[in-house]
Chains A and B, each alone.
Chain A
Amino acid sequence: MTDNAVTHQQVIAAAASPAPTVAGTGQRRASASGTPFTRALGIATIIAMAVLLLFGLFLSPADVVQGESVRILYIHVGTVWVAYVAFGMTAISSAAFLWKRTTSLTWDRIAGASAEVGVLFMALTLFAGALWGRLAWGKFWVWDARVTTTAFLFISYIGYLAVRGLGGSHQQRGRRSAVVALLAVLEIPLVHFSVKLWRGLHQDSSVADTTHVKLHDLMLFSLFLALVAFTLLYAWLVIHRQRVMAMQDALDDKGLDYALQQRRREGDL
């Protein structure tokens, strides 16, 4: 598309130095994605993670049945929570982008950033879950409805990210990926339902159902701590990623302007 004359370096240089920003005047550089709020959020995340480590690894007791392997669940439950929150956020943002009264590329970027974080945490979930499964059940994988649906979600959102990378204008990207995200919302319950019908060995979550299983108070506390810590991490990652995406989009736009300028200048010669 862009050929010879304009090098990538030049484009970046042109885009990274917009007129109003003056270097060396103590003004914040336009290329940073941090604000006082995100810095505070980042520090809160680090503290929450440190406390989670303390509780998860040292203060909470080992499980009567599962032994020390129960500590994997503080990661597993935290990451799967974030992954589902992220995919939910992607769906909501996609709907907001498609709805005419709220349409804005910011929604599209939030959807994309959230999906990226979701895919990452889904990978971690599957990995931690497989390790835990090997210890608890003796196998890395069981064809249980929830496990299988999770794997499908993972693949589906990798596909979603691929659709985002197809190219075209930002509006095209937004519309295309929003439609795909909403179709995924349509499809996931159906996949879950059909796998459930196919394999009936679903184990219902044991935390919500406190009549049967009584978790040690410290374990329960660590579990909720994990949810808080990972949610903070999610928010921090998405805010930053979303801002970086906005910068990338701006870079694309400005890069095009810059290339056009160059061409016009060539014409003048």
Chain B
Amino acid sequence: MFRTARLVAAKDLRIELRSRVVTNQVLPFAAIVMVMFAFALNTDAVVERVAPGLVWLATLFSLLILVQRSFAIETADGATDAMRAAGIDPAGIFLGKALALAAELAVLEIVLLATAVILYRQDLRASGVVLLVSTFLAATIGLALVGTLYGGLAAGVRGRETLLPLLLLPVVAPVLIGATRATEAALGTAGAVVADGWPWLGLLGVFVALFSVGGTLAFGPLIEE
């Protein structure tokens, strides 16, 4: 299962490295979203206050695109069918695609965080680094897991990509809440202290645990058709 996962993840990342869709299209999209947020919210004080939330909101929007992209490369040539016909473990496919998606998300989040530091004047502080890194790790893994799970479901049916946001966004709400609060604590937005962030990281941990097990079990039945 884990060998399959590694191979699938390597394949996905190799495709992305060569096609450069993520770097040339998704990253600029996320950046323009960050700029548009500033237009909508107008004043510097407001933007500085809500910056961590905007980072995660932009991540969620980009997640939708990344997930569709991740499964577009599978359905285009009937690759999923071929893998299933070859008897490859669906759990391995699930974990592999989630791993690749997590790697892409991580790159995206680093860029978004840098954008927040530059455009929204957030300060990174040494005392919050551990919380910040663990929050980004947990949230990234959680988003990649649910994204892959519901992406696989929506990808099975041609022409129904519109379904993905409807299914995915309600599910990732706990990540948005947890990651935003934890990031606020880590960055010290609006005078938040680092200690406030740990319970939220716990919430993200529960989310990851739940969907790593649930996703591995459910992905097979979802794509077997």
Check: A194 CB closer than 8 A to any chain B CB: yes
A158–B163 alpha-carbon span in the complex (Å): 10
Interface residue count for B (Cβ, 8 Å)? 28
Q: How far is the CB of B18 from chain A (nearest CB, A)?
A: 32
**What residues of B have a CB within 8 angstroms of the CB of A180 in the complex?**
153, 167
Contact of B166 with A162 in the complex, beta carbons under 8 Å = yes
A159–B173 alpha-carbon span in the complex (Å): 15
**What residues of B have a CB within 8 angstroms of the CB of A197 in the complex?**
177, 199-200, 203
Q: How far is the CB of B134 from chain A (nearest CB, A)?
A: 17
**What residues of A have a CB within 8 angstroms of the CB of B225 in the complex?**
168, 172, 176
Interface residues of A, dominant DSSP: helix
Q: Which residue of A lies closest to B213 (CB)?
A: A186
Q: Of B170, B178, B199, B206, which one neighbours A159 at CB under 8 angstroms?
A: B170
A194–B203 alpha-carbon span in the complex (Å): 7
Interface residue count for A (Cβ, 8 Å)? 27
Q: Of A98, A172, A183, A191, which one neighbours B174 at CB under 8 angstroms?
A: A191
Q: Given contacts A176-B153, A176-B222, A190-B207, is CB(A159)–CB(B177) below 8 Å?
A: no
Check: A256 CB closer than 8 A to any chain B CB: no
Q: Which residue of B lies closest to A154 (CB)?
A: B170
Report the 7 A-B pairs with minimum CB-CB distance, sorted nearest first. Answer: A194-B174, A159-B167, A159-B166, A194-B177, A166-B157, A179-B218, A156-B170
Interface residues of B (CB under 8 A from A): 149, 153, 156-157, 160, 163, 166-167, 170-171, 173-174, 177-178, 181, 199-200, 203, 206-207, 210-211, 214, 218, 221-222, 224-225
Interface residues of A (CB under 8 A from B): 98, 152, 155-156, 158-159, 162-163, 166-168, 172, 175-176, 179-180, 182-183, 186-187, 190-191, 193-195, 197-198
6 more A-B contacts (CB under 8 A) besides A159-B166, A163-B153, A186-B210?
A98-B221, A159-B170, A179-B153, A183-B171, A190-B174, A191-B173
